[in-house]
Amino acid sequence: MTPPLIQLKGISKQFGNTFVLNNVDLDIYEGEALVIIGPSGTGKSTILRIIAGLLAPDKGEIYIKQQRRQGLIEDQQDAMNISMVFQQAALFDSLTVDENIGFTLYQNSRLSHDKIRKLVEEKLQMVGLPPETADLSPAQLSGGMKKRVSFARAIMSNPEDPDTSPAAILYDEPTAGLDPIASTVIENLVRRLQNTGSGSNTYVMVSHQDSTIRRTADRVIFLYSGKIQWQGKVEDIDTTDHPMVRQFFNASVEGPIQVAGT
């Protein structure tokens, strides 16, 4: 059997007195579309940030392509490239779209400006934006365009250096705050990028949104109280009798999930 692309073993994370993650094991396989769900404040973003190498766990080990990650992404020599798309697009306001998408290549590669610009335009096309978007500044973009630009940045890589191609893409609530139609556009884009040459056919997403979970997940894990409480295929969310999953999808205040302020 193929080994997992990303493996979390016994991951724990505490903030102050709160155990956000408590001995979590998770295997993510190449080609998977995994969506992490659960009530707010249960550590979903924390798991993503740990996988991305932006945050260190207190305990446990992370393996990427069977190599143990030592430390965080910034001090990593043998980094597998894992891209993260943040909830807010997190673009640099003082840079153009071209400089935002090509940032790492302008900083770290020997590719010519012309070559990087061509790659930027290619990525813009993949996320459904015209090439001239490259000359705009983030302030000139709508919210939806900013989001697309942040997707383009996540899939950017150096064609002469395969290690820069993302092994997986992490999406933190990519449809939060979007209307249903704009959400569908983003959900379709996530799937399209998985299937057409983004460099990675694997992603891990955090989402609350019913439509996003149903359209973008193959496998779902339900996180609550520091643990993975349930996992299954996306179609199982309607048939499982797991009380937490039922409560979540019925949006009910009654059940094992404790609701703050009730």
x/- mask, ligand ADP, residues 180-219, rule CB under 6 A, reads --------------------------x-------------
CA dihedral (66, 72, 75, 79) in degrees, to 10, reads 30
Nearer to ligand ADP, 14 or 201 (CB): 14
Q: Which is nearer to ligand ADP, 198 or 207 (CB)?
A: 207
Is residue 175 near ligand ADP by the rule CB under 6 A? no
| Between 18 and 125, CB nearer to ligand ADP | 18
Closest to ligand ADP by CB, 43 or 166: 43
10, 15, 108, 252: residue in contact with ligand ADP (rule CB under 6 A) = 15
Near ligand ADP by CB under 6 A: residue from 11, 28, 42, 226: 42
Task: Identify the residue among 20, 116, 129, 178 touching ligand ADP (CB under 6 A).
Answer: 20
Q: Which range in 12-20, 111-119, 121-129, 253-261 contacts ligand ADP by CB under 6 A?
A: 12-20
Contacts of 6 (CB under 8 A, 6+ apart): 26, 27, 28, 51, 62, 63, 64, 82, 167, 168, 202, 204
Amino acid identity of 182? A
CB of 16 to ligand ADP, least distance (A): 6
Using the rule CB under 6 A, is 17 a contact of ligand ADP? no
Angle in degrees, CA 211, 243, 241, rounded to 5: 80
| C-beta separation of 243 from 224 below 8 A | no
Q: Rule CB under 6 A: which residues touch ligand ADP?
A: 15, 18, 20, 40-46, 206
